[in-house]
Amino acid sequence: MAQKLDPWKSSENLDYSKLFDEFGISPFADVLPQIKNPHKFMRRGVIFGHRDFESIVSALNDKKPYVVLDGFMPTGKAHFGHKMVMDQIVWYQQNGAKAVVGIADREAHSVRNLSWEECKRIGVEEYLISLIALGLEPENARLYFQSECEAVKDLAFELGIHVNSSELSAIYGFSGETKLSHMVSTVTQGADILHSQLLEFEGPIPVVVPVGADQDPHIRLTRGVASKMNMFLIEKRTDKDNKPYWSVRGKDAPENAFELMDKRLKSEIPNVKTKVSKEHMDIFSDMSAGNEETLRAVVQEIELELGGYAFIAPASTYHRFMSGLTGGKMSSSIPESNIALTEDPKAAAKKVMKSKTGGRTTVEEQKELGGEPDKCSVFELFVFHLIDDDDELCQIQNDCQSGKILCGECKKKAADKIEAFLTDHQEKRKIARERLCEFGINY
């Protein structure tokens, strides 16, 4: 197959370069080659950016423990946009991650005015049942509601000690009208992301949060606060002769911290030399990856012994959004723009048949110029959900661009696939509902 699969060749629906340049998100393409069996979203550029995904790559490749964390706000129907996230959670679980999924009922309750009972019902019915139907297994999974998880609520309070209202306003555009508990919802999301690293759960562990680009403010806030809450900061520096060394600085660390660290390092790193002061220490040794790992392990160990958190900065990936079936944004408030996972399969198929494609004005024109799959919501359905095989997808892209196939044919194909998928998914939902108790969900 000569042509490369590139679903967004000319798409301009989001200026992703701004995210790279201004916000420090890294291109996912940089880490992609290191992933052995990447998810189709990774291969196809649906996932386009990341922060610190290197730590997840190494967990994946070395089969080390890590966590995938995501949250769903229980306010309405789960649709194919949510399925994207669910698919990723299931994939990570199948690739060694512990899957931790929170229902963000604090936000739904405080901002959207839904009762806790309603939050619970929507959370289970719309989100958790579909997530299980999509393949989540109880082993190595933890599903929870924010309102029922004391650890998350208490950690949110700790996070809130390190965030002031100006910072929240800058990140979220809050004003004086913003309710206090809306503000608290933001640190609750931070606690969702970080709480798996508490000792009562997994302890410090790499965590990946797969989100849409619009969720990066949460990630930035959480990474910033995690760093503020840590007791020690490890940095690589160079001395006046340009020789590299490590520096460990302490924040509110107990007096004996560096003495302790010094002793431990000297017993674990051969030929290490150190310079210890009250609030920081310099470490001179062979700068090998092995020594760095030992250093980090010792610092983490000591921080935990001293009652600190030793959070590892959470990693994240950023995915593109699906367009709405009617063109423009997919929105829960425009029913024709999206398909719910609980929607009648035949009705869903009809929506697909009416959806906006990348077709030309006339059949003749399309045969001559070819269609534009990168502007086609039906092609997006293939890319995101309906076709797993890249070759098959590439074939459709080629056939469309060459004018060989027309929109009617593609729509019919997608409609059939959607109907079949939903029929199957809804059968699986029945089984999933019976399995809720295996996940500890009382409902």
Question: How many Å is the maximal CA-CA distance in the chain?
Answer: 80
Spatial neighbors of 274 by CB under 8 A, at least 6 apart, are 262, 265, 266, 281, 282, 283, 284
When asked if residue 255 is in the footprint of a second copy (CB under 8 A), the reply is no
Instruction: Point out which span in 25-33, 159-167, 354-362, 386-394 binds a second copy (CB under 8 A).
Output: 159-167
Binding-residue pattern over the window 180 to 209 for a second copy, x denoting contact by CB under 8 A: xxxxx--x----------------------
Q: How far apart are CA 168 and CA 149, in angstroms?
A: 23
CB closer to a second copy, 137 vs 158 = 158
Count of chain residues binding a second copy (CB under 8 A): 32
From 25, 28, 20, 21, select the one nearest 44 (Cα to Cα): 28
Spatial neighbors of 305 by CB under 8 A, at least 6 apart, are 260
CB closer to a second copy, 116 vs 245 = 116
Q: How far apart are CA 4 and CA 232, in angstroms?
A: 46
Binding-residue pattern over the window 87 to 126 for a second copy, x denoting contact by CB under 8 A: -------------------x--xx----x-----------
When asked if residue 223 is in the footprint of a second copy (CB under 8 A), the reply is no
The least distance separating a second copy from the CB of residue 153, rounded to whole angstroms, comes to 6
When asked if residue 227 is in the footprint of a second copy (CB under 8 A), the reply is no
Q: Which of 42, 114, 163, 229 binds a second copy (CB under 8 A)?
A: 163
When asked if residue 367 is in the footprint of a second copy (CB under 8 A), the reply is no
From 346, 341, 349, select the one nearest 84 (Cα to Cα): 341
Q: Which of 140, 178, 331, 426 binds a second copy (CB under 8 A)?
A: 178
E-strand spans in 194-272?
207-212, 232-238, 244-250
User: At 158, is the secondary structure helix, strand, or coil?
Assistant: helix
Backbone region of residue 36 per phi and psi (left: phi > 0; alpha: psi in -120 to 50; beta: other values): alpha
Q: How far apart are CA 415 and CA 425, in angstroms?
A: 15
273-276 β-sheet, strand order = 232-238, 244-250, 280-284, 273-276
When asked if residue 173 is in the footprint of a second copy (CB under 8 A), the reply is no
Instruction: Point out which span in 134-142, 149-157, 311-319, 355-363 binds a second copy (CB under 8 A).
Output: 149-157
Q: Which of 6, 118, 137, 158 binds a second copy (CB under 8 A)?
A: 158
Q: How far apart are CA 161 and CA 157, in angstroms?
A: 7
Q: Which of 1, 29, 161, 431 binds a second copy (CB under 8 A)?
A: 161
When asked if residue 147 is in the footprint of a second copy (CB under 8 A), the reply is yes
- Which tokens go with 161? 């000690």
Instruction: Point out which span in 146-154, 237-245, 324-332, 399-407 binds a second copy (CB under 8 A).
Output: 146-154
CB closer to a second copy, 254 vs 403 = 254
Is residue 177 within 8 Å of 165, Cβ to Cβ?
Answer: no
- Which tokens go with 224? 């910033």
Dihedral angle sign, alpha carbons of residues 409, 410, 411, 415: positive
Q: Which of 3, 30, 157, 408 binds a second copy (CB under 8 A)?
A: 157
Q: How far apart are CA 394 and CA 412, in angstroms?
A: 18
CB closer to a second copy, 198 vs 394 = 198
CB closer to a second copy, 147 vs 397 = 147
The least distance separating a second copy from the CB of residue 116, rounded to whole angstroms, comes to 10
Binding-residue pattern over the window 279 to 308 for a second copy, x denoting contact by CB under 8 A: ----------------------------x-
When asked if residue 431 is in the footprint of a second copy (CB under 8 A), the reply is no
When asked if residue 390 is in the footprint of a second copy (CB under 8 A), the reply is no
**Interacting residues toward a second copy by CB under 8 A:** 106, 109-110, 115, 147, 150, 153-154, 157-158, 160-166, 168-169, 174-184, 187, 307
